[in-house]
Structure 1
């Protein structure tokens, strides 16, 4: 379903992603003074990651979890406690961000300023420029209507490639194809390419029950953050009135007068964002929500440790 916003094919920034706008966001990031990231950049361009891998520095031991490397079992602690424990190590690695972008048809919806799909692309571009400024590689994986992957690249070239991919995927004709979030997360776990951080951008309508375990599995390999993109009508009751809607090329009107009608309408529209937000919260993941009208800069950078305007 999509609201009948003005539609053009030149990337108007409302119903269709504007590549020029995504590239211009670089200047916004350049004027932002980044707070310390979760991982700290070293002079060599490498980062000392807080993820645990096969480095030489022992960090701690924890209870063995399915999928752990048996070669890293802590036999002494296992013998003392009677329960299997795994050794965790802090490794040095180049920082890398993988953005997971929802491209389902539900994202082509908007009643304020722009579609959710456009806001999601703007948020992804902000994340890409912010990551490369911090010396990280950046890549993006689309799920839903588009199932494509742009492998992580470093520097401005990487962020520009992400912006180009975002615009190209948005320009494709939409379809009713649905990819459950759990399937997308499984696919993401296979293409992490050493990513130390993952940013999921979605409206949550593809969120299914198995997604919880898939997200949990992903946190074993990378720091996971979630940005929920929602329309104003998905977040609060609509004012009484008639609302023109467009779906599959057909236009109709929805009459919302009574509080019950408006409440039921909001509950149906807001089910996806609410479900994803609750899931992220239950897993203790960094999570922010934005509507389609606001500037996504603060919400995105806060997920990466926060940012302050430069002086």
Structure 2
């Protein structure tokens, strides 16, 4: 990966310095216990006997216990046989799926959705490594010649989080090219490149949720992916996608072309909001239908609360 040469403004383009600064934001956040990715959904840790394991506790001897694991000190003190239990060290892994479609490069409050998504991804990366997990990221969107390079395999520690931040800034600065990669295809690709990840965080505005897939493919592929990892969904939305815009004229610019949208009647404003917010509503419905943890944030919010709600020790489906 080439170094990111120019730091973004944090509004239209991702600021690498801001992504790295998210590290200080997660210092006081409560972190979850490491989860085993060997168990179904990566939800359970296993207690095992063997060398190189961490001592967990001792309990009364039971028929069939390995006599080599007897806790002789506790046995001597209590007068009854006790066995040592050991917990295998398991290193959790988080894979962040980041939507980089053209629809993400839009925003009317504070920053673009793409910048907010990168901030959330960086926050999640720092949070994961603080919990002792490895963290990686896969971007999906424009499927072009450099698509294979838009994957960073899970790495441990601060080095892993810094690598994620660098990739986020680099991908944001890269020119948009190639055809769109819908969410259905991205989920299939993610399934192939999990690399032992026990958790997956999908960050998207939902507009990549292709219509045919919304009727079955995305749901089925989300379900298939959830059999191998715990999936959480973070939806990034602009204020105009979440609520009616006040009556007035709105200048919009796309690919250098500037237009003015006039919204006066309630019907106009309602249809405008429904059209813009269709993606996030569709993805939210899918997540809720599958019982996945899901949160939404706008472009002005601090992503920390949403990230900790999805990845933290008390995470629940909304």
User: What TM-score, normalized to structure 2?
Assistant: 0.77
From 132, 137, 141, give the equivalent of 2:138: 141
Q: What's the secondary structure of 1:94's corresponding residue?
A: coil
Partner of 1:52: 40
Instruction: Report how far residue 180 of structure 1 moved.
Output: 1.1
Q: What's the secondary structure of 1:214's corresponding residue?
A: helix
Contact 1:298 1:306 in 2 (8 A): no
Contact 2:37 2:229 in 1 (8 A): no
Partner of 1:290: 297
Partner of 1:111: 108
> Given the alignment of the two structures, is residue 98 of structure 1 paired with residue 87 of structure 2, yes or no?
no
> Given the alignment of the two structures, is residue 214 of structure 1 paired with residue 221 of structure 2, yes or no?
yes
Distance 1:215 1:98 in 2: 14
Unaligned runs of 5+ in 1: 1-8, 42-46, 59-89
Partner of 1:65: none
Contact 1:98 1:199 in 2 (8 A): yes
Distance 1:53 1:252 in 2: 47
> Given the alignment of the two structures, is residue 168 of structure 1 paired with residue 156 of structure 2, yes or no?
no
Instruction: Report how far residue 176 of structure 1 moved.
Output: 6.8
Partner of 1:122: 119
Q: Mean alpha-carbon deviation: is it higher for 293-302 or for 142-151?
A: 142-151
Instruction: Report how far residue 94 of structure 1 moved.
Output: 1.5
From 276, 285, 300, give the equivalent of 1:278: 285
Normalized per residue, the structure richer in strand is: 1
Distance 1:165 1:202 in 2: 17
RMSD: 2.3
Q: What's the secondary structure of 1:141's corresponding residue?
A: strand
Q: What's the secondary structure of 1:290's corresponding residue?
A: strand
User: In terms of Rg, which structure is larger?
Assistant: 2
User: What TM-score, normalized to structure 1?
Assistant: 0.79
Q: What's the secondary structure of 1:98's corresponding residue?
A: strand
Distance 2:219 2:256 in 1: 35
Partner of 1:187: 189
From 12, 22, 41, give the equivalent of 2:19: 22
